[in-house]
Amino acid sequence: MNEIVKSIYEYPYKKIELDELKKLIKLNEYSDLVETINSLISRGVIKPVNKSGKNGLNPSLFLKYHIIKNFITDKMLIDELNSLHYLIDADAFKKNMEKYIKNRNFILTLDAFLKAHSDDLLYPLSENERAYQIWNDEKALDKKDGKDNIILLKNCNAFDILNTYSTPEPFLDYRIRKNIKNVLVIENKDTWFTVRKIMLHNPNFIGLFDTKIDCVIYGEGRKVTKRNNSLQDYLNIDSHFKGKVWYWGDIDNEGIDIFLSFVNVSPQLDILPFSAAYEKMIELFETLLSGNNNSRLKGHTNQKHSENISEFYKKIDHKVAERIKLLLYDEYYIPQEIINHKVLKDYVYCEGEK
């Protein structure tokens, strides 16, 4: 980089065309050229002439640049790094000066905040609140928009000091006890409303199908399979959840795959299929099969089988698993709604019944 800077400074004019700049930089790959020019701009070596227009490529570059004589030298940058607040690991940038130059304003803003308002970090804030407090940009620590900033802060050991908490996407839930130990996650909205209605109308409600339930959550299809803003994060907001999670969905390849994906993204949760409900779904469906409407009971034949479907069968009751295998083999599909309110109310147990 120093050789490039020296060549630019020896250029006989105050402005330089992009084509001439390319010759001085001597890089074949366009992506490398863009990175180098952006670094020169960050260092204050050159400044785009906005009126010159751009080259039309992606990412685009201006066609002309001012050459600035009083740019920041490497020595100045080292001195600046040495003066950073002690909570920022400056050594992480000394090993990669280009990374510091690229993110210099972001780090200097944090440095200024730490030097003037470090006591504010004693009080926890949400990630968006803290991001706005420090950088006046609520998305600066967003797991999507601010992903690179998060990595940068972790590299210099400055992320944890921010004392933030995540705010996972809220799930629709209904709780009957403050201390939640048994959670039922339901794939579809109608079934969730039915269960919630039963819980509301039974003041001594304990559970369903001889299983204790403290909270029922609407899984919204694949929402529970999200890695970010996961149900695991949601349950851990108040304290580290150590209870049991039951999952109840449709009996088809899609429903089983949702369960397996949910398990995969939530390693800290103890998740099991709600076997008794699945068994009742099969019982009701087999009654339908005994009639003459078999063709209407066929499922979605374009669904792919999950590669790990055997893991679902291991977690559910063995006899139920065997019956599900046969139904899926014959391409049948059983929606949760087969257990309607009239059916489910007979499988509620309340305080004093056990």
User: Which of 198, 178, 195 shows the shortest CA–CA distance to 186?
Assistant: 195
Q: Which residues make Cβ contacts (< 8 Å) with residue 200, sequence separation at least 6? A: 174
For residues 96 and 102, give the distance between their C-alpha atoms in angstroms, rounded to a whole number: 10
pLDDT score for 208: 93
pLDDT at 178: 78
Q: Is the pLDDT of residue 72 over 70?
A: no
Cα 338 from Cα 188, distance rounded (Å):
12
Question: What does the pLDDT look like over 156-178, one tens digit per residue?
Answer: 999 999 998 777 666 788 888 87
Reported as a single tens digit per residue, the pLDDT across 33-49 is: 999 999 888 888 889 99
What does the pLDDT read at residue 260? 92
Count CB-CB contacts under 10 A for residue 305: 10
Inform me whether the pLDDT recorded for 241 exceeds 80. Answer: no
> What is the reported pLDDT for 111?
95
pLDDT of residue 28: 84
Q: Which residue has the higher pLDDT, 290 or 107?
A: 107
Structure pTM? 0.61
User: Averaged over 185-197, what is the pLDDT?
Assistant: 92
224 — pLDDT class (breaks 50, 70, 90) = confident
* 90 CB-near residues (< 8 Å, 6+ apart): 81, 82, 84, 156
Query: In this predicted structure, what is the pLDDT of residue 180?
Result: 83
**Does 112 or 232 have the greater pLDDT score?**
112
Q: Tell me: the pLDDT tens digits for 314-328?
A: 888 899 899 998 888
pLDDT score of 70: 66
C-alpha distances (whole Å) from 102 to each of 21, 37, 44, 149, 231 are: 20, 11, 11, 11, 36
pLDDT band per the 50, 70, 90 thresholds, residue 146:
confident
- Say how far apart CA 197 and CA 143 lie, in whole Å: 36
First to last CA, the chain: 77
Placement of tokens 């797991």 in the chain:
143
Is the pLDDT reported for residue 115 higher than 80?
A: yes
Question: Is the pLDDT assigned to residue 353 strictly greater than 60?
Answer: no
Backbone angles phi, psi at 94, to 5 degrees: -65, -25
**Residue 238 reports pLDDT greater than 60:** no
Q: What's the angle, vertex CA 67, arms to CA 62 and CA 73, rounded to 5?
A: 115
* pLDDT, position 303: 57
Condensed to tens digits (0 to 9), the pLDDT of residues 201-223 reads 888 888 999 899 999 999 888 88
Please give the structure tokens belonging to residue 223: 């929402």
pLDDT (0 to 100) of residue 291:
67
What average pLDDT does the segment 112-137 reach? 92
Confidence label for 289 from pLDDT (cuts 50, 70 and 90):
confident
- Cβ neighbors of 228 (< 8 A, separation 6 or more) are 143, 144, 168
